[in-house]
Chain A
Amino acid sequence: AQTVTQSQPEMSVQEAETVTLSCTYDTSESDYYLFWYKQPPSRQMILVIRQEAYKQQNATENRFSVNFQKAAKSFSLKISDSQLGDAAMYFCAYRRGNNDMRFGAGTRLTVKP
């Protein structure tokens, strides 16, 4: 079974600085998709970024980028120029095709002004 591990239960960053959230996963598949979701205090689940495993190029979305290392099964999220609104719980997730999505335990990010 596929598992997703987020080894950092909590992280903090100074406003305007950069922070990296870690995620590793376990799979025997070669074709799959990886995601980072943000959950602010409103508890809404918001898609931050998506990576297709067959693409070597790392996905980017404005201040958010990933470091996807397929051989190492690692998928970290980098947040640049952190803002107070980035404070949230972040979940890493794995999905193969149209199967269900598997989530990590989450990392709570605090942004200090």
Chain B
Amino acid sequence: DADVTQTPRNRITKTGKRIMLECSQTKGHDRMYWYRQDPGLGLRLIYYSFDVKDINKGEISDGYSVSRQAQAKFSLSLESAIPNQTALYFCATSDSPGYGYTFGSGTRLTVV
């Protein structure tokens, strides 16, 4: 099994629908992150969490919410999806300072 698992892998949803993207990890890392990737913009931080009780907004949190249900689970929700939220979404985890992230395989979300 992958260290960081994202579900679903792909999703098409309609404008106005609520959707949840899920992330679970077996690394035992405290820090978890949600990024979105758009062509020409790279990866931008949506939300991050240092532990279950610590949730922080990133640079583009508007229109999104998150839930850290346990150390291993970090979910991203779009309360009312809109077409410009069409993107590739990545969950990532981190432990030691200065080291890279462990990424999930991404969720490609299309809002029509």
**Chain A residues within CB distance 8 Å of chain B:** 4, 6, 9, 33, 35, 37, 42-45, 47, 50, 52, 91, 93, 95, 97-98, 100-106
Give B37-70 as 1s and 0s: 1 = Cβ < 8 Å from A's Cβ atoms.
Answer: 0001111110010000000001000000000000
Q: How far is the CA of A100 from the CA of B94 in the complex (A)?
A: 9
Q: How large is the interface on B (under 10, 10 to 19, 20 to 34, 35 or more residues)?
A: 20 to 34
Do B58 and A91 have beta carbons less than 8 Å apart?
no
Do A103 and B43 have beta carbons less than 8 Å apart?
yes
Q: How far is the CA of A100 from the CA of B45 in the complex (A)?
A: 8
A95 partner, pick from B35, B44, B98, beta carbons under 8 A: B98
Do A101 and B106 have beta carbons less than 8 Å apart?
no
Q: How far is the CA of A42 from the CA of B66 in the complex (A)?
A: 26
For B74, the chain A residues whose CB sits under 8 A away are none
Q: How far is the CA of A6 from the CA of B42 in the complex (A)?
A: 10
For B103, the chain A residues whose CB sits under 8 A away are 44-45
For A35, the chain B residues whose CB sits under 8 A away are 100
Do A105 and B41 have beta carbons less than 8 Å apart?
yes
Q: Which of B63-105 contact A (CB under 8 A)?
A: 88, 90, 92, 94, 96-101, 103, 105
Q: Which of B10-53 contact A (CB under 8 A)?
A: 31, 33, 35, 40-45, 48
Do B42 and A52 have beta carbons less than 8 Å apart?
no
Known: A43-B106, A44-B105, A98-B94. A91 touches B99 (CB 8 A): no
